Amino acid sequence: MDTRPDPTGASALSSHLANGLVGHEILIERLLIALLTGGHLLVEGPPGLAKTRAVKWLSDAVEGSFARIQCTPDLMPSDLTGTPVYKPQDGSFEFVRGPVFHNLVLVDEINRAPPKVQSALLEAMAEHQVTAGNETHALPDPFLVVATQNPIEHDGTFPLPEAQLDRFLLHVMLDLPDLETERQILDLVEAETQSGASAVQVLTLQELAAARDSVRAVHLAPELRDYIVRLVFATREGPQAADIDHAVSPRGSLALAAAARARAYLQGRDYALPEDVAAVAGDALAHRLVLSWRAVADGRRSRDVVADVVDAVHPL
């Protein structure tokens, strides 16, 4: 009997996203990994790289509700979560839900949100709930946050605290496209201008739930689990640990395992391989560690350290 997963819906979704996003194969894969694992995604890159477009295309293709939150320095937590509203008819309060009460939430330029708003979002991401006054309100299932941030502007921004960065399953860094890719982008937008782009639903919530069950069933061999743990432990002890002030926590091991399972599923396998782990290690671990001041002064980046760890630690 063939026990391999059948990611038909995920494959169709991947193809749909590829039709509207040129040169973003990694971003598409990471969006699907977050969707299939129930994790959250942080996308960082200069303006104009289709970060918002990618999430909108995803929202059009997956059944469920969608909301976009444009962060500004004067944003209030209630603008995100909602607020109790007084009803003079009977003297009671009714909670009016905010935009976070949707299946897919795009938080645009999250580093422009003040710390109180970031804390409110942290509870929603971590606990899948919102607390307003003395009441706690559950968020819908599925619930996925995709946040974007712009790395080239610093005025009026509030860097995300390490605790909130750790709540993101993956942190994707986007670069400017090459010459050929940029020409393809121009051709795509010109074609859409002429014909118009229409929304197409590719994946239902029932199909998504079944796909998530299949991802959880992807086999992680004991040797592969050892490999994941040794990768994370290498940020605490070993040659690369000298560049790190705060190493990756156990949540990093869980995130790396979940992302590897989802990548294996997208590749049509019911078992994960070391290559799945290595492929997502940078996006799963780099944002969970803090470099030492000496490493920063030497021009080292978190992703450089993670790459060195992956090169140094070999699967059994």
The CATH architecture of the domain made up of 8-195 is: 3-Layer(aba) Sandwich (3.40)
Residue 104 pLDDT: 96
CATH 2.30.60.10 fits 219-312, yes or no: no
What is the H or E stretch that residue 81 is in? helix 77-81
Indicate the pLDDT class of residue 199, thresholds 50, 70 and 90. Answer: low
Of the chain, the percentage scoring pLDDT greater than 70 comes to: 95
Give the residue-averaged pLDDT of 77-90: 87
User: DSSP 3-state assignment of 76?
Assistant: coil
Residue 226 CB neighbour total at 10 angstroms: 12
User: DSSP 3-state assignment of 104?
Assistant: strand
Angle at Cα 21 formed by Cα 277 and Cα 211, nearest 5°? 50
Half-sphere exposure of 134 (CA within 13 A, CB side): 1
pLDDT above 90: residue 86: no
Give residue-wise pLDDT tens across range 129-167. 988 777 888 999 999 999 999 887 666 678 887 777 888
| Rounded distance between C-alpha atoms, residue 240 and residue 235, angstroms | 6
Lowest mean pLDDT among 180-184, 193-197, 219-223: 193-197
Indicate the pLDDT class of residue 1, thresholds 50, 70 and 90. Answer: very low
| Domain spans of the chain, in order of start | 8-195, 219-312
pLDDT above 90: residue 192: no
Give residue-wise pLDDT tens across range 219-278. 999 999 999 999 999 999 989 899 999 999 999 999 999 999 999 999 999 999 999 999
Measure Cα distances from 271 to 17, 110, 224, 268 in Å.
25, 35, 10, 9
